[in-house]
Amino acid sequence: MDDNEAAPAGAPQPSPASQNVRQFTVVEDDNGIRLDRWFKRNLPQIGFATVSRWARTGQIRVDGKRAKPDDRLEEGQVLRVPPGGENTKRGPKPKRELTPDDIEQAHAMVIKETASAIVLNKPPGLATQGGSKTHRHVDGLLDAFVDGEDVPRPRLVHRLDKDTSGVLLIARTPGAAASYSKRFSSHSARKVYWALIVGVPEVFEGTIDAPLAKQPGTGGEKMHVDHEEGQSAKTRYRVVERAGHSTAWVELEPLTGRTHQLRAHMAAIGHPIVGDGKYGGQDAFLTGSVSRKMHLHARRLVISQPAVDGKSVPKLDVTAELPEHFAQSMEHLGFDPSISDAGPLIVAPPEKNRAEKKQAARKFAKQYRKDRRGERRTRTAGVRGNTGGDPIGRKRKPNKRSGKPNGKPAGKRK
């Protein structure tokens, strides 16, 4: 590649030696990202210390100008990267070799695909991410959606507990992941869960406002209500139907995103989720043919999607079917799934992108100035039409010495 030729940032191809200056054009997916994050995303073999040194010595240029690691990049800008800098110990993680069964399982979970997202219906018992003793998880199956060398690996945006089933959103690209993450962190995404709980709340609909903190002695594996040091946590609930006084089917909507929030809140009000032994103990299990698995399901997700080619797209609205054990319990208890989700959630208009927001702001400012000019014309016309020579509604002040009004006295009538 020639020094003056800019390659798309989505597919940088540095050689091991990298003896030539490289140039990349910032693509739409990287619009707004920090310079140091751009390197981590597109050239992970170059460490932060190297990026900082290059920026400090002026070797990195953005559109020919010096740049700092925390500068934000814009689509279309040309990034100049000096030769060298690769750390052979760094680089993208090698792809995990998936078996045919792994690939089949990954694609079987898909319930909807868009230009920016893959939506899964996660089964209970499958972890979202790996751990020291967890080797099979959703994150490990995402390589099944990588079709070529230039296709970025999909990324997790949020997570569900291992025993919780339902809607799980996967972003196709790093840019889409950043956009969706903002929606979740700002709580503009709406998530609706279904749960079967032990007993029936006296108040059929309300909001649980109870701060949560890690419970001491559990290694951070369990949460509890802590009004002094806990983080704010709010959950909206609604009883959809009940089976006598033993069980209720509820809709849960987390207004915050704390660990185990729904499980801890329902247990805190004395109605643990059926099958949740961690928070409900033995009281969380029902007798008879109701499954001992946890009955918590991410039923529905409504979230704004990132713009495509600068144009807004409608909100993503997906629903996940119940897992087998949950559906059987619903049938055994006589609950009708059509009672909930029968009416659509409030459909908001597509969220405006940056260009559309600027255009709307300019339009508003133009109309505001126009209205203000109209008001000034009206006031001016009123002043000119006042035959008494004084502004409308204003009385002449009396002279301080004589106590008479200021101005020339009217002539005597003949």
DSSP class of residue 92 equals P
In percent, how much of the chain has pLDDT > 90?
52
Locate all alpha helices (DSSP H) within 72-209, ordered by sequence: 100-108, 174-185
What's residue 30's pLDDT?
82
Asked whether the beta carbons of 27 and 10 are under 8 A apart, the reply is yes
Distance CA 164, CA 306 (A): 27
390 is catalytic: no
Give me the chain's average pLDDT, please.
Answer: 83
Residue range 16-45: mean pLDDT, rounded: 80
Helices H, strands E: what count in the chain? 8, 17
What's residue 392's pLDDT?
46
In percent, how much of the chain has pLDDT > 70?
78
Spell out the domain ranges in the chain: 7-81, 105-339
| pLDDT tens for each residue of 54-80 | 999 999 999 999 999 999 988 889 999
Q: Which of 139, 161, 163, 276 is catalytic?
A: 161
Lowest mean pLDDT: which of 40-44, 120-124, 164-168, 293-297? 40-44
pLDDT confidence band for 195 (50 / 70 / 90)? very high
Dig out the tokens for 363 from the structure: 């339009």
Distance CA 332, CA 348 (A): 37
Buried b (16+ CB within 10 A) or exposed e, 241-256: bbbeeebbbbbbbbbe
What's residue 393's pLDDT?
47
In CATH, the number for domain 105-339 is: 3.30.2350.10
Asked whether the beta carbons of 72 and 178 are under 8 A apart, the reply is no
Highest-scoring range by mean pLDDT, 27-36, 143-152, 189-198: 189-198
pLDDT confidence band for 363 (50 / 70 / 90)? confident
What's residue 186's pLDDT?
87
pLDDT confidence band for 347 (50 / 70 / 90)? very low
Res. 164: pLDDT tops 90: yes
* Residues 6 or more apart whose Cβ sits within 8 Å of residue 134: 127, 162
* Residues 6 or more apart whose Cβ sits within 8 Å of residue 348: 315
Res. 240: pLDDT tops 80: yes
What's residue 384's pLDDT?
58
Residue range 157-176: mean pLDDT, rounded: 93
* Residues 6 or more apart whose Cβ sits within 8 Å of residue 112: 118, 119, 316, 318
| pLDDT tens for each residue of 367-407 | 877 777 766 666 666 655 555 555 444 545 555 555 555 55
CA atoms within 13 A on the CB side of 377: 6
Residue range 409-413: mean pLDDT, rounded: 52
* Residues 6 or more apart whose Cβ sits within 8 Å of residue 384: none
pLDDT confidence band for 259 (50 / 70 / 90)? very high
User: For helices 35-42 and 48-56, what crossing angle results, to 10°?
Assistant: 140
Distance CA 328, CA 337 (A): 11
Residue range 128-136: mean pLDDT, rounded: 81
What's residue 149's pLDDT?
73
Res. 307: pLDDT tops 70: yes
Asked whether the beta carbons of 75 and 31 are under 8 A apart, the reply is yes
Separation of CA 255 from chain center: 13
DSSP class of residue 190 equals E
| pLDDT tens for each residue of 270-291 | 999 999 999 999 999 998 889 9
Res. 295: pLDDT tops 70: yes
- The structural architecture, per CATH, of the domain 7-81 is Roll (3.10)
What's residue 80's pLDDT?
92
Q: For 151-171, give the DSSP string.
A: SPPPEE-S---TT-EEEEEEE
Res. 88: pLDDT tops 60: no
CA distances from 405 to 5, 108, 386, 397 (A): 81, 91, 18, 6
Report which of residues 9 and 76 the model is more confident about: 76
